[in-house]
Homo-oligomer: A and B are copies of this chain.
Amino acid sequence: MRRSVPTSVPRWCAAIGALLVATSLAGRAQTIPSWLDSYREAAGRLIGAALANDFAWQRLAELTDTFGPRLSGTRNLEDAIAWIAGEMRADGLEDVRTEPVMVPHWVRGEETLEIVSPGPRSLALLGLGGSLGTPPGGITAEPLVVSSFDDLDARAAEVSGRIVVYNVPYQGYGTTVQYRTGGASRAARHGAVAALVRSIGPMGLRTPHTGGMRYDADQPEIPAAAISAEDAAMLQRMQDRGTRVTLRLSMEAHFEPDAPSSNLMAEIPGRDVPEEIVVIGCHIDSWDPAMGASDDAGGCIVTWEALRLMKQLGLQPRRTVRVVLWTNEENGLRGATAYRDAHADELDRTVMMLESDSGVFEPAGFGFTGSAEARRIVTDIATLLDVIGANRIGPQGGGADIGPSVEAANIPALSLEVGGDYFLIHHSPADTVDRIDPADVARNAAAIAVMTYVIADMPERLPKTE
């Protein structure tokens, strides 16, 4: 059953929304720079159309409900890409196309962690993406709980033959994620047989969070997995109490041969300078424990929706606007590098790149990396978004998928910034559409639509990054 397309039914509704927003924007005229006068009406219409209904959230729900997790190498991912391409064509977007990318095909398989003694019991576990598995029958060993890499090094003499458990409280993703990405090899250096890491996120409900990890070339490769904060704290208490614990870790994780996938893109061609391109997007792959609704189907929906809104309203900007759904962000970045290479001749003509990959919660605005002059322009444009609370321009923009292209050609880079509890559900089974508010989807789509439309349409090209 295809959802009713909102170009027909809620047009009167969208018109009213646009009117209300335009009125609101008019009332704030003193704060909006005069060079944006000509964009007030378009901004009002885009915002009004976005807020008129929950079409974008419903599409997000249908995408995540129908295709579920979209790990690189799975049929779910490829089916999702094919379905989105069909929907994009139905939306009237142009040049809808896929570009092939070979992606790693890591398979989780069955995995269990038990406390063999004292008292047999299972612990919640999520193997880390990229880990190898255990031998059949698992690895049975005593844990050694450490609180940091320094603590590990200080206890180096005790590590051999043990399963190292990193019980590092969450202090922000950027700070703590090093234990997930590099913990296995650091432990292997001292003779550990496996590594378990307290999940990188705030305390949940015994919720493990997966994510990528890497092996150092000069260390033995040992299996690595995430456990919940609660179980890490328990193993810590047992160690502190002097309880002798035996764990059995069993993981079937392995790589299969690289699999075909693709980046997906669609456009609204520029009416005046189509060779100059504004690129906005997200990653369509996800980790496998959940639906990847916030990471990153929501980002795909709001960037795609920005183009759909322009198309619906007949807003064709001066330059080309392209939405790209990159593949394999989570465990390879192959889509990001393939895009950079396939579009090498375009990067100098790429005016701006924007990524949404921090969830779609209460809108805050955008992060921006670029020249001071470009920042002034982007900050001016954001005044049009004051009405939906998305007017803040943060100190840094970018994203994993746009990173290679942005770096290759000094392209101004934006990232969607939102509030919310992204890291509570990130990479965990709880990353479902239920935690995303339809109104937030609409507001973020509107914010991206307005920002993108103005950058793509304004007379002067947004200055390049110095």
Interface size on A, residues (CB 8 A): 41
Within 8 A of B (CB), among A259-299: 290
State which of B67, B204, B428, B432 has its C-beta within 8 Å of the C-beta of A119: B67
Contacts of A118 in B (CB 8 A): 66-67, 79
A200 CB, min distance to chain B CBs, angstroms = 15
State which of B65, B75, B233 has its C-beta within 8 Å of the C-beta of A243: B65
Q: Are B124 and A429 in contact (CB under 8 A)?
A: yes
Q: Are B206 and A432 in contact (CB under 8 A)?
A: yes
A402 CB, min distance to chain B CBs, angstroms = 28
Q: How many copies does the complex hold?
A: 2
Known interface pairs A124-B429, A234-B65, A243-B66. Does A203 touch B434 (Cβ–Cβ under 8 Å)?
A: yes
Q: How far is the CA of A238 from the CA of B62 in the complex (A)?
A: 8
Q: Are B1 and A230 in contact (CB under 8 A)?
A: no
A259 CB, min distance to chain B CBs, angstroms = 16
Q: How far is the CA of A229 from the CA of B430 in the complex (A)?
A: 11
Q: Are B67 and A230 in contact (CB under 8 A)?
A: no
Q: Are B68 and A121 in contact (CB under 8 A)?
A: yes
Contact string against B for A residues 44-81, beta-carbon threshold 8 Å, 1 for contact and 0 otherwise: 00000000000000000110011111000001100110
A115 at the interface (CB under 8 A from B): yes
Contacts of A243 in B (CB 8 A): 1, 65-66
Q: How far is the CA of A118 from the CA of B237 in the complex (A)?
A: 44
Q: How far is the CA of A61 from the CA of B243 in the complex (A)?
A: 12
A26 at the interface (CB under 8 A from B): no
Within 8 A of B (CB), among A108-141: 115, 118-121, 124
Q: Can you add 7 more A-B contacts, CB < 8 Å, to A65-B237, A66-B243, A230-B432?
A: A1-B241, A66-B118, A68-B115, A69-B121, A79-B119, A203-B434, A206-B428
The chain A residues found within 8 Å of chain B, CB to CB, are 1, 61-62, 65-69, 75-76, 79-80, 115, 118-121, 124, 203-207, 229-230, 233-234, 237-238, 241-243, 290, 424-425, 428-430, 432-434
Instruction: Show 7 A/B contacts (Cβ-Cβ < 8 Å), sorted by A.
Output: A62-B237, A65-B241, A66-B243, A68-B115, A203-B434, A205-B428, A205-B429
